[in-house]
Amino acid sequence: MTNSKNRLLRATAGTLLLALAAALVFGQGRGYDISSMDKNTAACADFYQFANGNWLKTTEIPAAYSSWGSFNALAENNRKTLHDILEEASKKTNVARGSNEQKIGDFYASCLDETKREAEGMKPLVPELARIDKINSTKDVVAQIAYLHRHGIPALFGFGSLPDLKNSALVLGAAGQGGLSLPNRDYYTKTDEKSVKLRDDFVKHIANMFVLVGDAPEVAAKNAQTVLAFEMRLAQNSRTPIELRDVTTQYHMMTPAQLVEFTPNFSWADYRRAAGAPATGDINVAHPEFFQAVNKLLTEVPVADWKTYLRWNLITSAAPSLSSQFETENFNFFAKTLQGRKEQLPRWRRCVSATDASLGEALGQVYVSRTFTPESKARMKTMVNNLIAAFRERLQKVDWMSDATRQQAIAKLDAFGQKIGYPDNWIDYSALSVSRDSYLANVLRSSEFDQMRDFAKINKPVDRKLWGMTPPTVNAGYNPLNNDISFPAGILQAPFFNPNADDAVNYGAIGAVIGHEITHGYDDQGAEFDALGNLKNWWTEADKKNFDTRADCVVNQFSGFEAEPGLHLQGKLVSGESIADLGGLYVAYDAFQKSLQGKPRPADIDGFSPEQRFFLGWAQVWAEKYTPEWVRFLAQSDPHPLSRFRVNGPLSNMPKFAEAFQCKAGDAMVREPSQRCQVW
């Protein structure tokens, strides 16, 4: 989720950052792996280590990855299926022109064609660079920004469709901060040694890229400094990742007339016409202070510097679609330096991912026909409904909430939408042209196609049936503006949804994921939206205060965790995901216990009770190792806690966990009652 509209609500989508996984074999009839466990560590001392310690000891992060986790079979099987589909499509010569099969086959083939890409070098960029060279005025700058946005290149800021936060039935235009090459504002403003070194490496990378398009080394070095100085100014007027989580401060509707007064140097009318967006209608300017700074930059920064910045945006966005020189230089900084990866994935894997990103629902139709049966969808729907029923029971029993607020909370739950497996209505790609002539051209055309689809939604009613993820995606989400939960087919397989595992493990894995997404509707961001998806206060003053106090408990707990010595998690950054993990585990545990009613008690397996297996199901799906660089990135940027804390954090708050493993007061996995966190 990287586009502008999703930045406004980055964490509220409730996405689970699921890493590519390791070769962990989940035993038939179990769903967990005994060989991964470290039984020399007491479960009550460090449950993450107990559940995964031997795996952590023996597993190495493959050179092409920044992290390596516990669901390798799922990620690899999905990729293999997509690879088979694309190989078949790319080798067929008798498919109908304009068909989905032709488009995914040709897109994939053009990506694989190293010979053509090497021969072309930077040639595909020449006409695009020529457009930038012709810029002579700030009016031209605005036109070029619009042109880049039309083709999916996010220069300067983000603009797209988003439901009106206070009238979620209507889609409007929304503009948000952007324009940074490094992950967020903090990478530009921090003055510690590692941050300074990273910016130095960034400047060298920019210079190397300018050399690749023909700049003399001394000119490239100067241009690189220009880009850094420009982005530093943007960063100084940008919000931090924590500030971006506060959706209540990101609603600033402006009419066209107000926009003229607000940014007189930036013509929104000219921009919207050039970008292909509707020229009329109000816009939500989510971050006004950022656009006030942009307005000043248009008069304070020379046009020549604007051209340098826009050239950089074009080059860095196009680099993965060009020859190996560009790909390698791009990888060396953004993957090696920033993430700690040592080598690139094989080209076929990169091309599978690129095709999924550009033609996801065309590829997804074939994928679900091979992997996701109607029976699986029905079984998942039943499980979702069971978890919703369990959450409703929890809402009815919450003792810190008044009946007035409780009724609103239950009404919101009753209005939840469900998206399971794949869309009911697929995207129509008939307007998109794909050929084998040029990979970059395919990328730009598909980006423009997506952008035009997005712009076409503006000033129209919301279509709540649209998906935000492709079917093969290993992910899940909650959308507060639709008030719905999504579970693509890609995640509905082992180890999360394992037909060969006993119910205890499945409830601890996919059950807790479902509960996690439901709870996102009631985390510190989701709680700001009502049953219709509107940004609206539905709480009494006393109830909201009680909620905030409980949420602060989670913030304080996670702020105490160290990602590495001296680098703490940011409790306010990860609070939404951590509230969702805690609530998801509670509701999944309740649902599991309810599923046992009227049945013989399940037998112990490997000496573990059903309740213990439930918690093992949760812990083992989060087994994960990281490079040091990736740890620092996640701690500074990601709203999800590192996996060790996703396991130990919520479980240490749960008396049922302590009961299952016979933990005692004073054990590390047992928080004192006065410190124990429970929101839902």
Give me the phi and psi of 281, to 5 degrees please. Answer: 105, 155
Is residue 393 flagged as an active site residue?
Answer: no
Question: Which backbone phi and psi does 21 adopt, to 5 degrees?
Answer: -110, 165
Tokens coding 140: 């031209």
- Of 215, 577, 581, 624, the catalytic one is 581
Residue 581: active-site member: yes
Catalytic residue among 38, 517, 523, 611: 517
By C-alpha distance, which of 155, 151, 162, 128 is closest to 141? Answer: 155
Alpha carbon dihedral 644, 581, 165, 279, in 10-degree steps, equals: 40
CA 586: distance to chain centroid? 24
For residue 80, the one-letter residue type is: K
Cβ atoms within 10 Å of 605's Cβ, excluding its own: 20
Which residues on neighbouring strands pair with residue 461, listed in sequence order?
170
628 burial (CB, 10 Å; 0-12 / 13-18 / 19+) is: exposed
d(Cα 282, Cα 268) in Å, to the nearest integer? 11
DSSP code of residue 345: P
Which structure tokens are listed for 271? 């921009």
Rounded Cα–Cα distance for residues 529 and 448 (Å): 32
How far apart CA 572 and CA 568 sit, in angstroms, is: 12
Which CA distances in Å does 531 have to 93, 521, 535? Answer: 50, 9, 10
Which residues have CB under 8 Å from 413's CB, separation 6+? 388, 391, 392, 395, 518, 521
The answer to whether 480 and 521 are in contact (CB under 8 A) is yes
Helix, strand or coil for residue 254?
strand
DSSP 202-221: HHHHHHHHHHHTT--HHHHH
Which amino acid is present at 354? Answer: A
Evaluate whether 553 touches 575 at the Cβ level (below 8 Å): no
| Residue of 51, 131, 9 lying closest to 614 (CA atoms) | 51
Query: How much is the CA Rg of the chain, to the nearest whole Å?
Result: 25
Do 163 and 5 touch, CB atoms closer than 8 A? Answer: no
What six digits make up the tokens of 250?
């990101």
Structure tokens of 170? 């209507």
**How does DSSP classify residue 41?**
S
- Four-residue CA torsion sign, 429, 430, 432, 434: positive
Burial of 236 (0-12, 13-18, 19+ CB in 10 A): exposed
Residue 625, SS3 per DSSP = strand
How far, in Å, CA of 190 to CA of 391, rounded?
A: 42
> Cα 49 vs. chain centroid, distance in angstroms?
27
Task: Residue 31: name the closest of 60, 73, 68 by CA.
Answer: 73
Q: Are 465 and 423 in contact (CB under 8 A)?
A: yes
With helix as H, strand as E and coil as C, how does 319-342 read?
HHHCCHHHHHHHHHHHHHHHHCCC
The 10 Å Cβ neighbour count of residue 440 is 19
Q: How far is CA 38 from the centre of its chain?
A: 31
Integer Cα distance of 39 and 41 in angstroms? 5
| CB proximity list for 389: less than 8 A, separation 6 or greater | 591
- Residues classed as catalytic: 517, 581
